[in-house]
Amino acid sequence: MIERKIALFGGTFDPIHLGHTTVAAAAAEHIRAEKIVFIPARRSPLKDTFPEAGDDDRVKMITLAIAENKKFQLNDCELKKAEPGYTIETVRKFQTDFGSETSLYWLVGADTIDELPRWYRIVELIDQCNICAMYRAGCKAPDFTKFTHIWGLQRVQKLQQNVIQTPLIDISSSEIRHRLATGQDVTDMLHSPVADYIREHGLYHSKPKN
Ligand code: ATP
């Protein structure tokens, strides 16, 4: 039986930008994943604040940004759930949907590494899927050896083997929100249909919260 490989990419995508799609495409190639599922979150697991754009706007922007890549899909299951939603629940749902012959890969940027010990049921998540840490501009290369004392050598080796040296794209949603709120140019950071959508709907024009 040929093993299927599916990558899952969670985030607030507030808004989705060229950094997200570029590293996701590189990760898909590295993993040889047949598809990447973008899964917008109601909010970041460890942040109290909600995204600035509403759920519908974020879904529409993701739809516009992924339209040209046949491997990219959107799944809004986390937006439909009553809070709180956790990654382990999402991964288990996909594992049930796709079946045990499918290997799941959960993508995270290098900035997320230090938060992982605080994620809900992180040990089960490490065991359940392949957490793939991607390189990110402005962050150190992902290194899990510092977590050996809490997760054990085997889990740390699994995490290290799944690190993906994605291209360094110096773009973040918070920088985009800041630039839009201060009237600066963001054209190089966004897919042009997303930039058009933001302009047409007047998104991100108030002072950013972060
Ligand atoms: P913010 O600036 O608001 O924190 P963000 O740009 O990090 O947002 P998120 O939607 O929070 O965007 O990111 C979703 C996932 O994508 C996270 O795991 C994050 O680390 C990763 N990611 C986002 N931008 C990049 C990038 N340029 N390179 C690599 N990974 C990225």
CATH hierarchy code of domain 4-169: 3.40.50.620
Residues 117-148 have pLDDT tens digits of 999 999 999 999 999 999 999 999 999 999 99
Confidence (pLDDT) at 45: 66
177 C-alpha to ligand 1 centroid (Å) = 13
| Residue 141 Cα distances to 62, 83, 113, 133, 136, angstroms | 27, 32, 10, 9, 8
More confident residue, 117 or 84: 117
Phi (first) and psi of residue 185, to 5 degrees: -80, 140
In the chain, DSSP assigns E strands to 4-11, 35-40, 72-74, 102-109, 130-134
More confident residue, 81 or 61: 61
Lowest mean pLDDT among 5-19, 40-54, 72-86: 40-54
| pLDDT tens per residue, range 185-195 | 999 999 999 99
Question: What pLDDT, on a 0 to 100 scale, did the predictor assign at position 81?
Answer: 87
Residue nearest to atom 16 of ligand 1 (CA): 109
Q: How far is Cα 123 from Cα 51, in angstroms, rounded to an integer? A: 27
**Per-residue pLDDT tens digits for 67-76:** 989 999 999 9
Q: Average per-residue pLDDT in the chain?
A: 94
Tell me the domain boundaries of the chain.
4-169
Q: Which residues line ligand 1 (CB under 6 A)?
A: 11-14, 19-20, 23, 108-109, 111-112, 134, 136, 169, 171-174
DSSP state of 122: H
What's the CA gap between 175 and 180, in Å, rounded? 9
